[in-house]
Structure formats: C-alpha cells, structure tokens
Structure 1
Amino acid sequence: YPASCWKWHYEHGLVIKAISEVGAASGENRFHGIDQEWIDHFVNEKGEICTYRVSEFNLDQVNPGKLLFPLYHRTGDGRYAAALKLLRSQLRDQPRTPSGGFWHKQIYPHQMWLDGLYMAGPFYAEFAVTFNEPAIFDDLIHQFMLIEQHARDPQTGLLYHAWDEARAQQWANPGTGCSPHFWGRAIGWYVMALVDVLDFLPSEQPHFAKLIDILNHLAHAMTRFQDPASGLWYQIVNFPNRPGNYRESSVSAMLAYGFAKAVRKGWLAPEYLSAAQRAYHGLLENMIRVDARGALTLEGTCSVAGLGGNPYRDGAYEYYIKEPVATNDFKGVGSFILAALEMDRALESNI
C-alpha cells in the first residue's frame, strides 16, 4: 500500500483506522504512526485537505476524518482541529430531505442510504464530544431513527439499502420510497455505525435506549438469515438459495465486528457473540487464503454497489449479484481486521 495509492476515500480511511487500532492493541512499533503519516499526506499547514471538496456534499468523504481525532488529542496541532472543523462545516450545510435526513451526496437528491450513517455518524458523534457541541446528538439520533423508520421491512425486520423521500428515483418503491433489496453490506455499515456512535452518545441522552432497541431488533433479524453451514451472510440477505447469490465477506466481517463489540459493551445479549464467532470462523475457513509466502488474501467482497447515477443502477437483484467480486478489497479487509480485534478482546475478557 504505497503512498502513491493513497486516497482521501472512505474505504482507505476504514483500513487505515483498522491498522492503527491493531497498533494500539498490540503495541507493535511497525504500526505506530501510520495514521499520522497517512493524514499528513493530505492535510496541509492550514488544515486544508487535499482532494477533498466540501461542495460535493459527499458523506463518504467524511469517514476518513475520524483519523484526525486521535492526532488532535495527541498533539494539539491546530491544523488537525482546522481539518476537523472543515469536515464539520460540510455536515452543517449538507442538503437534507424534507424530514431532515442528510442526502447521501449532492448528486443523490432526497436520498438516504444506510451506508451514509457509517460514513458520517461516528465522526459527527466524536466531534460533538471533542468540541463540546451536544446539540449534534439530537440531530444524529434523528438520522438513525429516520432511516430505520422508513427503510425497515415490517415482515423481515431487515433494512432496505436506501430510501428516496421524494419517491422520484426509478429504483424507489412508489409507496414507500425504498430500494428493492436488502443489500448485506449496507446493513453492515448501519450496524457498525450504531456501535461506533454509541461509544460517544451519553446514556442519559433522550432516545439513547431507542438506538439500543434498533440494534437489537436488527441483530435479531439478521441472525435469522445467517447461513447455518458457514456462518456467513449473503450478498442479498434474504435470498440465500436464489441463483447467482453468494456468501459475501464484508457484511460477514462487519456483523462479526458489530455484534461482538455490542456484546462486550452490554448492548446485545451474549448469544450474539456466538453469531459473531460463527461469522468470523466462517471467514477464516471460507474466505481467507494463504499463499506460498504466507501472505493472506481475503476473497469474496463485493467491490461496489450503489443506486442511480450514470450508468443508472436500478437496484434490481441482477444488478447486485453481477457487480464484480474482489480480493483484498479494503471494505472487506478493514472490517475483517476490526472483527479480529473484537475476537481477541472476547477471548481476553472471557465473555
């Protein structure tokens, strides 16, 4: 992963955060400073972020900003504070749906995607604590409750990938505004967002318990669709036997991480640690390959999936299953590392 390949991009932010957490957990010098080296590649002396544009109003571009918080706390360097406040300014002006939900991007009007809760939510929560802006919490809780209210399917309890409040998109159900399918990784992003935001949300905050309830209901719904043979989840969660569907690595790693962390924090019952462990072992047995040099490869990650755009993505089943499947994709690798760290913590604490 040479510097020439670095990008201010959500999946790069995810994998660098995961590596830095390995360093914090292990104390190994080889991981020390990777977060600062990466951030300093982009952030100049004025706190400006190379390649980042507020005017794009792209929630994906907020996620790497989480790496700034530990650097600011360690060094007190004003340029890190300036960069954090620059990203905060995007969320202050982010276009919103009539109900107050963040548009996923400027180019996706009136649409909330589950992905966006992870891309902006944990950053937003940590900013509230770091810069003493508690009013953020009400807005942040509203984002989670709003998308859950509209994207949740009453029959399965699963969440659709996205919701178009304007009901203007070809992919949007004319009645509900929801996209057609339950995409595994979108739900994985949402679960990770919940458990990472809850780290910062004061327990006395109104609706704190509501987020715990949302997490529990979604965990219950997802475990019903966990593959009993492998412990993994499918690309389209509720159609395991439909032709073309496949067991997908990133959702399995994300849920392993989210469930295990939530059990450790007391937000989910201990039984969900078993679901997390089954998923993690399923990844080890089915998706990890070791080459002749001893290097690991993670297989089975959907490279990308979205809605709308040009060429237009209609959210049909055939669309999701035909997107390329990648090896060592950062969305899978970063989530897998975070899941592995939670597995270690579970062993250490004898949960």
Structure 2
Amino acid sequence: TLRSTQFNICTGISAWAVNTPQIDDWTWIDAIQMGMPALVKLSVTTGDARYAEKAYDMYTWTRNVLAGGLYNSKDALWWRDADFVPPYKEPNGRDCYWSRGNGWVVAALVRVLDELPADAPHRSEYERDLKDMCAALVKCQREDGFWNVSLHDASNFGGKELTGTSLFVYGMAWGVRNGLLDRDKYMPVIVKAWNAMVNDAVHDNGYLGYVQGTGKEPKDGQPVAYDSKPDFDDYGTGCFLLAGTEVYKL
C-alpha cells in the first residue's frame, strides 16, 4: 500500500510536469539527477513516452540553452549553474567545474541508461555525454586516486574529496560493466580511485572522511579533511555505496 501510494504521488507530480509547457526548471546541474531518472523510470514503468520526452527536453534546455548551455562540450564538463559560466574563472584562470556537481550528472546519466531500452530515442545522446565526460574526468584524476573539488584548479581548495570521486567511480564502473567504456583504459582509473576511497577515507568505525558538505562550489564546506564533520553528509554515504555496488558487480 505504501509503495502504491508513493508511486501515485510521483505519477501525479510528474503528470503535472508533463502537462505543463515549461522546460526551464533545472537551473543547476544537481537537479538533473534529482529529476531526470524519475521521469524516465515513470516512462518505462507506465509505457507513456511523454515522461521520457519531457526529461529530454529539460535536460537539453539545461545542457544547451541556459546561460548559453551549462555543458561545455570543449571540456566535456558542466558549470554548476549560470553563476559559473564564463567570464567567471577559478584563481588559476581556468573554468570552474565543481566535482560533485559533475558527479550528479554522471549519476543521472547512469540511472537513465539503466532504465532506457536499447532502441530508445535519445539513448545514443546520453551515452555520448557519459563517454565524453568520463574521458575528460580521467585527465583530472589526482595522483592519489581522488579528484579535487575544483576539477581544473588544484590550487583552489585542492585535496582529497569523497563524494565527487565516488560518483565518478560509479559512472565509470557502470560504463565498463555495460560495455560502454573500454575496460583496459578505465579499470586502472577505477581501481586507483576505489582503493584510495577505502584506504584513505573510511574510518575504523565506518565513518567517511573527506566529504564536502552542502554547497555549490569548491570553497563551500571547507576544510574537507579526514576527520571533518560536514553540515550534512548522508549523500556521502549514498555516493560511496553507489560506487561500491558497481565495483562489486565488476
């Protein structure tokens, strides 16, 4: 009964979204993960293609239209929201690509691809974005296996950070397991990151270190350290477990 009630509530909310014209709700990239997988899941579950089409329309608006598009196809990474689109720059003069924000997009693409049939409209576009993002992220990995909170500026609160790293591992491991990413290229990246997460971030009692708290950019929730206590860390556990499930399946 509870599951049925939850489904009906989700269907009702999503039906409202489908039957209204606006597609400009996802004004920050975290929202892609919050909204797109649910709409696609409803489309697959109900057989109503409108949910998936609305998800695509909203995704492409955020990707290509908002502030000129929050996705920079040149770097294959995303600006977190309109505040970070150039001329905004990091201290080293490069664009600001926030780690966890890009991680949410990776997770959204994985969850959508996990649901969509092989011949679904737009699947190839989602696959291309995930592949391009993962290729770009390989170039940003730190020597110790983690990713910095600012993917192109190690000088701006650089250091180990668990949530973005976990989401990247989740996406890459899923991609390898499903034949989307080359195993020989990505397995060393995945193994290096996973070993760093387990060996450097997990406390003896299971507490997770190096979790950046709530925010939208590198400076938020600092300092991020082994023994720091973020203002909200539940998503840190969730991100870590997502990565773990896919590494386990590999």
Q: TM-score range by the shorter chain?
A: 0.7 to 0.9
2:177 maps to which residue? 264
Counterpart check, 1:140 vs 2:55: yes
The offset of 1:119, in angstroms, is: 0.5
Give TM-score scaled by structure 2 length: 0.83
The offset of 1:147, in angstroms, is: 2.9
The question of whether the paired residues in 2 share the 8 Å contact of 1:249 and 1:332 is answered with: yes
Return closer, same or farther for 1:148/1:218 CA change in 2, 3 Å cut-off: farther
The question of whether the paired residues in 2 share the 8 Å contact of 1:303 and 1:323 is answered with: no
2:122 maps to which residue? 207
Map residues 1-351 of structure 1 onto 2, 5 A cutoff: 71=3, 77=4, 79-92=5-18, 96=22, 100-101=23-24, 103-104=25-26, 112-149=27-64, 150-163=69-82, 171=83, 173=85, 181-228=96-143, 230-240=144-154, 242-270=155-183, 271-290=185-204, 295-306=205-216, 319-320=219-220, 322=222, 326=229, 329-346=233-250
The offset of 1:85, in angstroms, is: 2.0
Secondary structure (helix, strand or coil) at the match of 1:247 reads coil
Task: Give the gaps of 5 or more residues in structure 2.
Answer: 89-94
- Structure-1 separation of matches of 2:120 and 2:96: 33
Larger fraction in strand: 1
- Structure-1 separation of matches of 2:186 and 2:196: 15
Return closer, same or farther for 1:129/1:173 CA change in 2, 3 Å cut-off: closer
For 1:198-247, what per-residue CA distance to the aligned partner results, in whole angstroms no more than 9, with x for missing partners? 1222222232111111111111111100012x11111111112x153222
The sequence identity of aligned pairs, in percent, is 20
- Structure-1 separation of matches of 2:87 and 2:124: 30
- Structure-2 separation of matches of 1:157 and 1:258: 15
- Structure-1 separation of matches of 2:229 and 2:16: 31
> Larger C-alpha radius of gyration, 1 or 2?
1
- Output the amino acid matched with 1:304: T
For 1:98-134, what per-residue CA distance to the aligned partner results, in whole angstroms no more than 9, with x for missing partners? xx33x24xxxxxxx21111110111111111111211
Task: Give the gaps of 5 or more residues in structure 1.
Answer: 1-35, 41-70, 72-76, 105-111, 164-170, 307-314, 347-351
